[in-house]
């Protein structure tokens, strides 16, 4: 905790009520937003269940010190993928595991994505998910610390434009991008974003230059204390399964959840009066559905779990932004490695951060990005000169992130390093999340199936060539960029580039689409949730995290995930205000109907209890 601060309000399992109106499973990037919105009116009781801790230390708010995907800290949850045939090794995967989830440990990049991508979601059979439908939800949560017609300053979640470039190489890349005729973009969130260019980034940092996570923005101490009568938070607690009731062959509901403490032997079953919302993330939300008997029937039978609802798409269609790192040696002072190699520099930077809110502790490991549609690059990776080729409907499919360190999965920290992380924004390859056993304590089997679709190689080759052209320009400008063994491709022919892609590849932690939104289908290419984010066949079970994306967006995912949570909260509250006017329920003990007036509600159980709103 912060020095001299009060203990964050939370509950133990034994202190929880027996039932709540809403149970939110997962207090991460999306769950923190939902818990805030559902509890805002004070009309409903809300339980937020988080597997990880609060972990609210001073360092957790310092941008650089909290950017710890690579660490084994309190706020991370690591797992190893299955063996990847196309890479010759498994890949280490990582997600946030604390209140605020991955927004507590990521690089804080705030980017929405292009309007055309959301319009494509809508056109794929998901009404209400086009850009004009989604834009209000981006604006609702956003509090931009600058004046701009494209942004809002009315929300809780702070973001700001990048400061002055922290490392000499960044400025050299800007100049190199101009040399290769890339347009310069000041706002990566502009709806008029072109198909190719060099853009400065926006970051979720607040006015004090602290990390602005969804934990600090949507669940601050004062708010949770104020709502303590109806918003309860329990951490270090796992959801073992959902308690599902079958009303008929095609209609299901969730009574509640089974919980288990990670710090004691205690277990509880908690009832949900209205809804359960899964926000456990794209690796854990499908895992909970599978443990509860909702998923591909063949897989559930193989594991020995009774099939409640055969839903083939659960845990399928896993996508990630696949990355390939090209690295170079630079002077130590030009790399973030200087903080490790020269401790006195770290002390100076710490002082700059504490006094002025500037310096390397703002996590300027990346401040600009280069993006392009591979269709607009020639055989050498150079942008084609014809302006007519740059069309509004052509979307970027590659992103190059200049990083002030080696960005490989196993980075070289023995020297000053600088790298280009080449990212595939629209992968064709799709993986799976499956159960390893029926025991909820056993980890899932995660198979991203990287590069399983050969079409993914072509844009990655184009991206590598463009990054090499940027390198050439930097060297010609006199920047001291030196190749080192294994850091760069041995040639630019397809075979050499493909070998390099396999050797220097990594995850970028942008997992999605394992509970994708779309029509119900008897195949794994179908949907898991409908446009209301209700799991097909259920009337009170929703999912609201990046697992519902029909396919991975070509952008960084935290802002779209928050927008999904905002939209989900609106849909839930709209339903709640309309549903309870008058409704009929069929008891499980007779065929008679019980009609309830607007001032009572019915617990979906054999034992009925009535309670005033």
Q: Concatenated DSSP letters for 459-504?
A: HHHHHHHHHHHHHHHHHHTT---EE-TTTS-S-SSHHHHHHHHHHT
How many whole angstroms separate alpha carbon 238 and alpha carbon 259?
A: 6
- pLDDT tier at 611, thresholds 50, 70, 90: very low
Average pLDDT over residues 10-21: 96
Is residue 299's pLDDT more than 60? yes
Predicted pLDDT at 600: 34
Residue 227 is given by DSSP the state: T
Task: Check whether 102 is labelled as a binding-site residue.
Answer: yes
- Segment 450-467, tens digit of pLDDT: 999 999 999 999 999 999
Is residue 608's pLDDT more than 90? no
- pLDDT tier at 393, thresholds 50, 70, 90: low
219: CB partners within 8 A, 6+ apart = 27, 32, 35, 36, 99, 100, 233
How many whole angstroms separate alpha carbon 119 and alpha carbon 133?
A: 9
> Which region, left, alpha or beta, applies to residue 533 given φ > 0 means left and ψ of -120 to 50 means alpha?
left
When mean pLDDT is compared across 21-25, 186-190, 214-218, 545-549, the lowest value belongs to 186-190
Predicted pLDDT at 386: 60
Residue 606 is given by DSSP the state: S
Domain spans, the chain:
1-124+208-319+510-579, 163-200+321-428+451-508, 580-613
Q: Which two tokens stand for residue 112?
A: 């929405």
The percent of residues in the chain predicted with pLDDT above 90, rounded, is 80
Predicted pLDDT at 410: 85
Q: State how beta strands 92-96 and 76-80 pair.
A: antiparallel
3-state secondary structure of 389: helix
Closest CA to 515 of 561, 544, 562, 548: 548
Closest CA to 165 of 201, 139, 218, 117: 201
Query: Residue 515 in contact with residue 548, Cβ under 8 Å?
Result: yes
Q: Which two tokens stand for residue 372?
A: 């392009």
How many whole angstroms separate alpha carbon 177 and alpha carbon 390?
A: 17
Is residue 576's pLDDT more than 90? no
Query: Residue 432 in contact with residue 318, Cβ under 8 Å?
Result: yes
Predicted pLDDT at 485: 79
Average pLDDT over residues 305-317: 96
Residues β-bridged to residue 241? 258
Query: Residue 594 in contact with residue 62, Cβ under 8 Å?
Result: no
Closest CA to 234 of 256, 265, 262: 262
Predicted pLDDT at 596: 34
The percent of residues in the chain predicted with pLDDT above 70, rounded, is 91
Predicted pLDDT at 579: 56
Q: Which two tokens stand for residue 60?
A: 């957790």
Predicted pLDDT at 372: 96
Predicted pLDDT at 70: 55
Residues β-bridged to residue 87? none
Closest CA to 323 of 448, 408, 203, 412: 408
How many whole angstroms separate alpha carbon 265 and alpha carbon 285?
A: 23
- pLDDT tier at 604, thresholds 50, 70, 90: very low
3-state secondary structure of 422: strand
Is residue 432's pLDDT more than 90? yes
Predicted pLDDT at 163: 84
How many whole angstroms separate alpha carbon 255 and alpha carbon 275?
A: 8
Residue 238 host element (H or E)? strand 237-246
Residue with tokens 């097909």: 536
- pLDDT tier at 1, thresholds 50, 70, 90: very low
- Maximum separation of any 2 CA atoms in the chain, in Å: 84
Query: Residue 98 in contact with residue 104, Cβ under 8 Å?
Result: yes
Residue with tokens 């400008």: 477
| Mean pLDDT (the chain, rounded) | 90
Predicted pLDDT at 69: 61
Average pLDDT over residues 345-349: 95
- pLDDT tier at 578, thresholds 50, 70, 90: low
Is residue 171's pLDDT more than 50? yes
How many whole angstroms separate alpha carbon 509 and alpha carbon 91?
A: 11
Query: 3-class secondary structure for 288-309?
Result: HHHHCCEECHHHHHHHCCCCCE
Chain-centre distance of CA 10, in angstroms? Answer: 25
3-state secondary structure of 458: helix
Q: How far apart are the first and last CA of the chain?
A: 37
Query: Residue 271 in contact with residue 255, Cβ under 8 Å?
Result: yes
Task: Please give the CATH architecture assigned to the domain spanning 163-200+321-428+451-508.
Answer: 2-Layer Sandwich (3.30)
Predicted pLDDT at 591: 38
Task: Check whether 25 is labelled as a binding-site residue.
Answer: no
The length of the chain is: 613
Q: Which two tokens stand for residue 171?
A: 């400025």
Predicted pLDDT at 279: 98
DSSP 30-98: THHHHHHHHHTTSSS-EEEE-SS-----SGGGSHHHH--TTS--TTEEEEEPPPBTTTTB--EEEEE-S
Is residue 313's pLDDT more than 50? yes
Query: Residue 237 in contact with residue 262, Cβ under 8 Å?
Result: yes
- pLDDT tier at 549, thresholds 50, 70, 90: very high
Residue 382 is given by DSSP the state: P
The domain covering 1-124+208-319+510-579 belongs, at the CATH homologous superfamily level, to FAD/NAD(P)-binding domain (3.50.50.60)
- Segment 247-297, tens digit of pLDDT: 876 789 999 999 999 989 999 999 999 999 999 999 999 999 999 999 999
- Segment 63-115, tens digit of pLDDT: 999 987 656 566 788 889 999 999 999 999 999 999 999 999 999 999 999 99
Average pLDDT over residues 16-40: 98
Average pLDDT over residues 202-223: 97
How many whole angstroms separate alpha carbon 206 and alpha carbon 476?
A: 39
Closest CA to 282 of 435, 432, 122: 432
Active site residues: 510, 556
3-state secondary structure of 328: strand
56: CB partners within 8 A, 6+ apart = 1, 2, 8, 99, 215
When mean pLDDT is compared across 111-115, 444-448, 602-606, the lowest value belongs to 602-606
> From the CA atom positions of the chain, what is the Rg in Å?
24
Residue 128 is given by DSSP the state: T
């Amino acid at each position: 905790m912060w020095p001299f601060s009060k203990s964050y309000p939370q509950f133990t399992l034994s202190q929880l009520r027996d039932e709540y109106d809403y149970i939110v499973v997962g207090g991460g990037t999306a769950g923190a937003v939902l818990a805030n919105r559902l509890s805002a009116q004070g009309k409903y009781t809300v339980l937020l269940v988080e597997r990880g801790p609060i972990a609210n230390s001073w360092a957790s708010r310092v941008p650089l010190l909290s950017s710890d995907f690579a660490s084994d800290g309190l706020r991370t949850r690591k797992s190893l993928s299955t063996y990847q045939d196309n890479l010759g090794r498994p890949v280490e995967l990582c997600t946030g595991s604390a209140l605020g989830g991955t927004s507590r440990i990521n690089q804080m990049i705030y980017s929405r994505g292009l309007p055309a991508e959301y319009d494509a979601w809508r056109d794929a059979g998901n009404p209400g998910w086009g850009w004009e439908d989604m834009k209000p939800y981006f604006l609702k949560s956003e509090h931009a610390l600058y004046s701009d017609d494209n942004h809002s300053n009315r929300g809780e979640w702070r973001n700001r434009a990048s400061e002055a470039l922290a490392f000499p190489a960044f400025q050299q890349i800007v100049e190199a991008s101009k040399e290769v005729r890339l347009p310069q973009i000041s706002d990566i969130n502009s709806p008029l974003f072109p198909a190719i260019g060099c853009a400065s980034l926006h970051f979720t940092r607040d006015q004090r230059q602290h990390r602005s996570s969804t934990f600090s923005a949507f669940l601050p101490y004062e708010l949770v204390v104020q709502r303590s009568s109806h918003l309860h938070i329990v951490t270090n607690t796992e959801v073992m399964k959902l308690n599902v009731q079958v009303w008929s062959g095609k209609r299901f509901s969730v009574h509640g959840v089974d919980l288990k403490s990670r710090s004691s032997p205690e277990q509880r079953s908690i009832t949900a009066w209205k809804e359960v919302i899964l926000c456990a993330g794209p690796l854990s939300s499908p895992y909970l559905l599978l443990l509860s008997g909702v998923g591909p029937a063949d897989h559930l039978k193989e594991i020995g779990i009774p099939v409640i609802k055969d839903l083939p798409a659960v845990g399928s269609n896993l996508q990630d932004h696949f990355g390939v790192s090209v690295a170079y040696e630079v002077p130590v002072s030009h790399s973030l490695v200087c903080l490790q190699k020269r401790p006195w520099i770290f002390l100076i930077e710490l002082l700059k951060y504490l006094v002025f809110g500037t310096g390397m502790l703002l996590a300027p490991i990346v401040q600009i990005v280069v993006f392009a549609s591979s269709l607009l690059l020639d055989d050498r990776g150079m942008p084609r000169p014809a302006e007519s080729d740059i069309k509004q409907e052509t979307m970027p499919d590659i992103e190059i992130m200049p990083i002030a360190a080696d960005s490989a999965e196993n980075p070289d920290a023995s020297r000053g390093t600088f790298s280009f992380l080449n990212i595939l924004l629209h992968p064709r390859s799709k993986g799976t999340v499956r159960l390893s056993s029926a025991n909820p304590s056993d980890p899932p089997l995660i198979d991203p199936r990287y590069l399983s679709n050969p079409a993914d190689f072509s844009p990655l080759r184009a991206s590598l060539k463009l990054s090499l052209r940027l390198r050439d320009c930097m060297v010609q400008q006199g920047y001291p960029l030196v190749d080192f063994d294994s850091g760069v491709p041995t040639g630019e022919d397809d075979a050499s580039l493909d070998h390099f892609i396999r050797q220097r590849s990594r995850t970028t932690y942008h997992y999605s689409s394992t509970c994708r939104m779309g029509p119900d289908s008897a195949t794994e290419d179908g949907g898991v949730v409908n446009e209301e984010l209700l799991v097909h066949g259920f009337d009170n079970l929703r999912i609201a995290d990046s697992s519902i994306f029909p396919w991975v967006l070509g952008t960084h995912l935290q802002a779209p995930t928050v927008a999904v949570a905002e939209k989900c909260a609106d849909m839930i509250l709209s339903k709640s205000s309309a549903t309870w006017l008058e409704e009929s329920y069929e008891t499980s003990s007779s065929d008679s109907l019980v009609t309830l007036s607007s001032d009572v509600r019915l617990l979906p159980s054999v034992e009925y209890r009535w309670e005033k709103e």
